[in-house]
Amino acid sequence: MTAGNRCARSTGLGLVALLLAVMLTAGRAGADTYTLTDLGSLGGVNGSGAYALSGSGISAGYSFVQGQTWVHAMVNDHGAVVDLGTLGGTQSLARDVNAAGDVVGWAYPPGLTVQHAVRWHDGIPLDLGSFGGDFGDAHSINSSGLIVGSASYANGDEHAFWWRDGVMHDMGTLGGTRSRAYGVNDFGDIVGMAFIAQDEAFHPFLSKPGGLLYDLGTLGGDAAQANDVNEQVHVCGWSELQTNSPLSRGFLWTDGVMKSLGTLGGIYSAAQGMNNFDQIVGASTRADETQVAFLWQNDQMVDLNTLLPPGSGWFLRSAWDIDDHGAIVGEGARPDGAARAFLLAPAGTASAPPAAPRVTRLVGVLPNPVRDEARFDFVLAAEGHVSLAVYDVSGRLVRTVVADRFDAGSHSPTWDGRDTAGHALRPGLYWARLDAGGISSTRAFVIAR
């Protein structure tokens, strides 16, 4: 699921934010009226659910199979419901799909009731393997085919992985024995959860292929996990508010700060998916503790059931993904009570919009806070000369990181945390500024040693 609270901290970044706001406004025309689509099923009486949107007209999820008590991975491809099958066993489930139509999830092999991580390409399943154990689960795939998930060792320890070109790579943990990767964006930023030392708690993490796990912290409790990350490297998930407490909240993490999304009146919420405009979807309990699907944007949480077309008779329990046009998929119940995958989309818009125009911008500084080395992610709308520099809070130039020509697209230069003279910078607040194509874009970051 790849999918933005922009941080407009200067005139240049304000221009970027304005451009993104215009794109969002255009894409959300008529957003007060929504259409609801039943995404179908494979005939099982227990129904279906949808976990992901591709951005190209495909949704992915699961459905119970007609006459059986098990589920199969299911996609809805421009209205056509397709059973993806298994690895030869009885069950499977699809968790994500990219724009090319490649699907990832899990499936049983012949004669076993153990999940194996799977990628379906052109409808053909591929077992992604494990670290020597029996278990694997693939949770997310980006546009370049980078897959993330988790797999077990022979001793039963489960570790997050990233997979590319037939090779599964262990991402490690935060000191404990277990971890899982749940989301990846098109820059290769990966989020998930990992246990800390002695498995005393698990925290959300942010990482890259081959990089260390960066602990995003919690909202006060011991348990939290990150479920999705967008192209701005903003992260959503859920966190306990207190140790061993049912009180938990969905969160939005941006530039080193984790913010609670609140609830719809109950004790619980969880953020499951987000788009590039920081619209977030998930599930929350209401004051009567009924769980419902929600949409969060501009610091407000809305019960998706209040957006249903009048008289629809549906009840939406959980939302799992949202695209850049505001189309949402999840799990709900039809008027007859049957569980069903749904698509809730702003009226008059396509459920699978074309990719948003590329905008020159400095996406983020990672990790934030910076302790040693940092990475600067930026996007160029067109080929041209780029200047990327670091400034202190007084506006003094500390270090020019790059000054060169770059091709259009995404780039991620690194910096050693030192000034022009080679001295390590003192802890504190700094600014990174990108100048390219007549546009300036800035990001604040903190050095903490």
Instruction: Read off the CATH number of the domain in which 404 is found.
Output: 2.60.40.4070
Span 131-142, pLDDT tens digits: 999 999 999 999
Least confident among 7-21, 223-237, 255-269:
7-21
Residue 67 lies in a domain: yes
Q: Are residues 220 and 310 in the same domain?
A: yes
Question: Residue 16: phi, psi to the nearest 5?
Answer: -60, -45
Kindly report the CATH number assigned to the domain that includes residue 220.
2.120.10.30
Decide if 334 is inside a domain.
Answer: yes
Q: Are residues 242 and 387 in the same domain?
A: no
Tokens describing residue 328: 């949402």
Question: What percentage of the chain reaches a pLDDT higher than 70?
Answer: 90
- Indicate the pLDDT class of residue 1, thresholds 50, 70 and 90: low
- Domain with 407, as residue range(s), is 361-447
User: Is 15's pLDDT higher than 60?
Assistant: no
In a domain? residue 243: yes
Residues 280, 315, single domain; the answer is yes
Mean pLDDT across 221-243: 95
Q: What phi, psi does 322 have (nearest 5°)? A: -145, 135
* CA distances (Å), origin 30, targets 20, 62, 194, 343, 346: 18, 30, 41, 17, 7
Query: Is residue 180 domain-shared with residue 248, that is, in the same domain?
Result: yes
pLDDT for 400-413, tens place per residue? Answer: 999 999 998 888 89
pLDDT score for 378: 87
Q: Does residue 95 contact residue 60 with C-beta atoms inside 8 Å?
A: yes
> Quick check: is 354 in a domain?
no
Compute how many other C-beta atoms are within 10 angstroms of the C-beta atom of residue 185.
26
The number of distinct structural domains making up the chain is 2
Write the CB contacts of 259 (distance below 8 Å, at least 6 apart in sequence).
Answer: 251, 252, 253
Work out the mean pLDDT of the chain and round it to a whole number: 88
Tens digit of pLDDT for each residue in 140-157? Answer: 999 999 999 999 999 999
Position 349 scores a pLDDT of 59
What's the mean pLDDT in 189-203? 96
Instruction: Report the candidate in 196, 187, 225 with the shortest Cα–Cα distance to residue 412.
Output: 187
**Is 95 found in the same domain as 184?**
yes
Decide which of 320, 346, 372 is a domain's last residue.
Answer: 346
Answer yes or no: is 91 within a domain. Answer: yes
Q: What is the pLDDT of residues 328-342, one digit of tens each?
A: 999 999 999 999 999
Residue 377: what pLDDT? Answer: 84
Same domain for 404 and 297, yes or no, is no
Q: Which of 278, 313, 346 is the last residue of a domain?
A: 346
Say yes or no: 334 and 375 in one domain.
no
What's the confidence (pLDDT) of residue 362? Answer: 85
What pLDDT is attached to residue 444?
80
What is the mean pLDDT of the segment spanning 246-257? Answer: 93
Sequence-separated contacts (24+) of 234-240 with Cβ below 8 Å: 234/4, 234/5, 234/274, 234/278, 235/191, 235/204, 235/206, 236/271, 236/272, 236/273, 236/274, 236/280, 236/282, 237/182, 237/191, 237/193, 237/204, 237/270, 237/271, 238/269, 238/270, 238/271, 238/282, 239/204
For residue 338, the one-letter residue type is A
Query: Is pLDDT at 246 greater than 80 in this prediction?
Result: yes
pLDDT of 159 over the 80 cut: yes
Residue 17 lies in a domain: no
What tens digit of pLDDT does each residue of 270-329 get? 999 999 999 999 999 999 999 999 999 999 999 999 999 999 999 999 999 999 989 999
For residue 226, tell me if it sits in a domain: yes
pLDDT of 22 > 90? The answer is no
- Do 251 and 145 sit in the same domain of this protein? yes
Q: What is the pLDDT of residue 81?
A: 92
Q: Strand, helix or coil at 60? A: strand
pLDDT for 366: 77
- Together in a domain, 314 and 367: no
- Predicted local distance difference test score (pLDDT) of residue 175: 96
Mean pLDDT within 362-381:
83
Query: Domain end: 284, 314, 346, which one?
Result: 346
Based on the fold, state whether residues 207 and 258 are members of the same structural domain. Answer: yes
373 and 435 share a domain?
A: yes
Kindly state whether residues 315 and 425 are assigned to the same domain.
no
Query: Does 23 fall in a domain?
Result: no
Terminal C-alpha separation, the chain? 33
